[in-house]
Amino acid sequence: MSQNKTFIEFHETLLKLSHNADFINENRSRKLASLSALAGRLLHVDRVSVWQMNAGQDRIDSEVLYLLDKGHDYRPVSLVDTDNPAYFKALKTARVIDAGDALNDPRTAQFAEPYFRPLGIQSLLDLPVFDGGRLSGAICLESLRRRTWTLPEISFAIAIADTISLVNTHDAWIRAQQQLDYVTHYDNLTGLPNLQSFRERLQHLIRKMRQRENDGFTVIWIDLDRLKAVNDGMGAAGGNRVIAEIANRLRGLYLPGRDKLARIGGDEFAMLVRDHEQQRHLQDLIQQIQHCISDPMTIDDQTLRMTASIGICRYPEDGLDSESLLRSGEAAMYHAKESGRAQMQAFRQDIHSTARSRFVLESELRHAIQHNQLDVFYQPIVEPDNAEIVSNEALVRWQHPARGWMSPMEFLDVARNAGLMQELGLSVLRRVCEDRRNARQQGIEMTTTAINLSSEQVMDGRLPLRIQEMLAEFGLSGDQLEFEVTEDAIKGDSKSLQTTLNGLVDLGSRLSIDDFGTGYSSLSRLKHLPFSKLKIDRSFIHEIPGDADDCAITLSILGLARGLGMQVVAEGVETEEQRRWLTIQGCDLLQGYLFSKPIPIDTLLEYSAHHKRSVL
């Protein structure tokens, strides 16, 4: 047979194989097996192997070996650069290695004793294989008899090597497509489907449901409460571990009819539930989800309990397409969050308007904080006997362009849900520092100012440094400020909390527990935290001295404070009877409308400038 005819027959056989539908649909390993077998049979070669080169290009590993008389062998074999650098150099320069005398060829001779002689190999033909433009390995044809490789044989072997290179390139493209699909449809932190994947599933279900009657499904929108406080106190890595732990819990939660779970935002998850009778069991489902989330978890040796606000909507009642359902679920979730933590809210039509209003208010508040447009009013704290002002409490106010003066009760929840509490707190601190500097420039020395700290702030170990920097900016000292922390904000006994509180004391500032009596603080915990004041919540002051229970609670707080060496401030004092009773019982300081409502800085300075000691 002429070389031309042999060349044509070889390549026709290869084309027939490579264009066969079964071959095209095979995986890479099966394709390599078919190509090595084809080369072995057509060229009558004893051994045909495909090798893969490592990333460092100093080792090749056998992927598949075809033995002419035995078939395929997948036992691992490795050859390294240090055993034959000349061979690797030739392979790396993309050269065809046609060694008719493999035992003596300078490119392959060093393989003679450890590899060729034990196997009886006399001749070889090795060709480089590529993955795109990168050398990725070789195909090796090895003969147990001496032979000189003909041009058609070399050409055919090159064609086999090129086909393997194309297989590699196609597989790399498939992997890239799979990676792109993963990035497009899955969350990298949790491995859960993402919002895009969830949206596509919604669209698919809606198309199916439109063909049926009396069928629907439920969308459950889950938002973790106060994750920002965790991030501030433990860093982003700690927050991510919390998210990953919650994701694992939700993933393992068995719920009848559950269709898809996704992470759709930083601290938000969504779940699809399909069940004809879902409405009857909805409350049980939500309780299971809440219990799953609220079980204690340990992150960096700190025990945390998370809660979630949950919004619920139904197809088709609350939306006929994916976007309207997502809007309804999110709006219901925000309504639940505004009702308090760990709440559930089913969607109602009036919620949309409320949600739009909340989004507008959030945007306006963010703008007010960024442009230092929030105001601070001051309420004096006085001595019981003579009403002399000994300090004052800074209370944030907002003069909304359309709504007028707004109290904290009207916008703090919006700030908290929007993650603005840190920025709001620093804005109040800046305004207080500005007011104190301006007063000093007028020759007026203000009494100590107490500033409220949110739970998000006290969980942030960077807070003392930020306060120190602001004090330095305005030329103030730490002993001119006190900081008030609500009892609920210190219930998580963490290293971050203690670090923050001790850092504030190191600045020279004093600390007060605000709204004392409304939360839970054990004596052992209070004893180890650096507080010097307790502020009795106004709810216990309102009915004294007429209410025996409130009197008993107040007396117990006074006794507790004395035992801990702490001062006591009674909030919400409005009548002479309340003042007299508290004075007799030895309450150290009083605050309330009997002495003054919260007043602007100008009014406070005017009062201080004239050294008034009487009730305002």
The 10s digit of each residue's pLDDT in 421-451 is: 889 999 999 999 999 999 999 888 899 999 9
Same domain? For 483 and 507 the reply is yes
pLDDT reported for residue 383: 92
Residue 99 included in any domain: yes
Q: Are residues 368 and 332 in the same domain?
A: no
Query: What are the distances in angstroms from CA 212 to CA 206, 257, 278, 280?
Result: 10, 17, 17, 21
Mean local confidence (pLDDT), 331-346: 82
> Could you please report the per-residue DSSP string of 426-480?
HHHHHHHHHHHHHHHHTT--PPEEEEEE-HHHHT-TTHHHHHHHHHHHHT--GGG
Instruction: Answer yes or no: do 529 and 577 share one domain.
Output: yes
Residues 256 and 138 in one domain: no
Q: Are residue 76 and residue 110 in the same domain, yes or no?
A: yes
Residue 611 pLDDT greater than 50, yes or no: no
- The Cα–Cα gap between 217 and 282 comes to 11
613-616 long-range Cβ contacts below 8 angstroms, 24+ apart: 613/386, 613/387, 613/388, 614/387, 615/387, 616/380
Q: How far apart are CA 98 and CA 141, in angstroms?
A: 9
Residue 125 has pLDDT above 90, yes or no: yes
Residue 143 lies in a domain: yes
Average pLDDT, the chain: 85
Which burial class, exposed, middle or buried, applies to 400 when counting CB atoms under 10 A from its CB (0-12, 13-18, 19+)? middle
Q: Are 303 and 419 part of one and the same domain?
A: no
Element (H, E) at 326: helix 322-338
pLDDT in tens, 131-157: 877 888 999 999 999 999 988 889 899
Confidence of residue 482 (pLDDT cuts 50, 70, 90): very high
Token pair of 330 as six digits: 């999110």
Q: Which domain holds residue 105?
A: 3-182
- Whether 175 shows a pLDDT value over 90: the answer reads no
The pLDDT of residue 231 is above 50: yes
Mind listing the pLDDT tens digit for each residue in 44-61? Answer: 999 999 999 988 889 999
Q: Is residue 614 part of a domain?
A: no
Domain end residue (candidates: 182, 214, 231) = 182
How far apart (Å, rounded) are the C-alpha atoms in residues 522 and 441?
A: 44
Count CB atoms within 10 A of the CB of residue 83.
14
**Residue 38 within any structural domain of the chain:** yes
pTM: 0.50
What residues have CB less than 8 Å from 332, skipping those under 6 apart? 221, 311, 312, 313, 345, 346, 347, 348, 351
386 by Cβ neighbours in 10 Å (0-12 / 13-18 / 19+) ranks as exposed
pLDDT at site 615: 39
Task: Give the pair of three-digit tokens for residue 604.
Answer: 């406070």
Q: Using DSSP bridges, classify how beta strands 302-304 and 297-299 pair: parallel, antiparallel or unpaired.
A: antiparallel
- Residue 293 neighbours by CB under 8 Å, 6+ apart: 222, 224, 246, 249, 250, 306, 307, 308
Looking at the fold, whether 455 and 550 belong to one and the same domain comes out as yes
161, 39 in Cβ contact below 8 A? no
In a domain, 471, yes or no: yes
Q: What is the pLDDT of residue 177?
A: 67
Residue at 190 is within a domain = no
Residues 544-571: what's their mean pLDDT? 89
Predicted confidence at residue 277, as pLDDT, reads 55
- CATH at 315: 3.30.70.270
Place of tokens 């003596």: 104
- Measured CA to CA, the distance from residue 608 to residue 610 in angstroms comes to 5
- Is the residue at 188 inside a domain? no
Q: Within this chain, do residues 470 and 521 fall inside the same structural domain, yes or no?
A: yes
Task: Note whether residue 353 is domain-resident.
Answer: no
What single string gives the DSSP state of each residue in 263-324?
E-SSSEEEEEEE-TTHHHHHHHHHHHHHHHHHS-EEETTEEE---EEEEEEEETTT-SSHHH
Largest pairwise CA distance in the chain? 123
Reference 449, options 408, 485, 425, 479; nearest CA is 479
Q: Are residues 308 and 383 in the same domain?
A: no
C-alpha–C-alpha distance, residues 158 and 165, integer Å: 10
Q: Report whether 126 contacts 94 (CB < 8 A).
A: no
**pLDDT (mean) for 293-317:** 87
**Residue 172 backbone zone (phi > 0: left; psi -120 to 50: alpha; other: beta):** alpha
Q: How many domains does the chain have?
A: 3
> 378 and 338 in one domain?
no
Residues of the chain above pLDDT 90, percent: 37
Domain final position from 312, 347, 382:
347
The confidence band for 525, taking pLDDT boundaries of 50, 70 and 90, is low
Edge-to-edge strand ranges of the sheet holding 344-346: 258-263, 268-274, 217-224, 308-315, 344-346
| Res. 614 pLDDT band, cuts 50 70 90 | very low
Residue 479 CA: distances (Å) to CA of 1, 89, 449, 473:
104, 74, 9, 15
Q: How far is CA 610 from the centre of its chain?
A: 54
Which whole number is the average pLDDT over 381-403? 90
Tens digit of each residue's pLDDT (9 = 90 or more) over 210-224: 877 667 899 999 999
Query: Tell me, what CATH number does 70's domain have?
Result: 3.30.450.40
Q: What is the rounded (10 degree) CA torsion for 420, 425, 426, 430?
A: 130
Domain boundary among 137, 159, 182: 182
Judgement on whether residues 213 and 169 belong to the same structural domain of the protein:
no
pLDDT tens-place string over residues 60-119: 999 999 999 889 988 888 888 888 899 999 888 867 899 999 999 999 999 888 889 999
What tens digit of pLDDT does each residue of 182-220 get?
667 888 889 899 888 899 999 988 888 887 766 789 999
> What's the pLDDT at 394?
95
Statement to judge: residues 250 and 123 lie in one domain: no
Please report the pLDDT score of residue 21 as a whole number. 82
* Whether the predicted pLDDT of 508 surpasses 90: yes
Tokens of 13: 């056989």
Q: Match 């040796």 to its residue by tokens.
A: 301
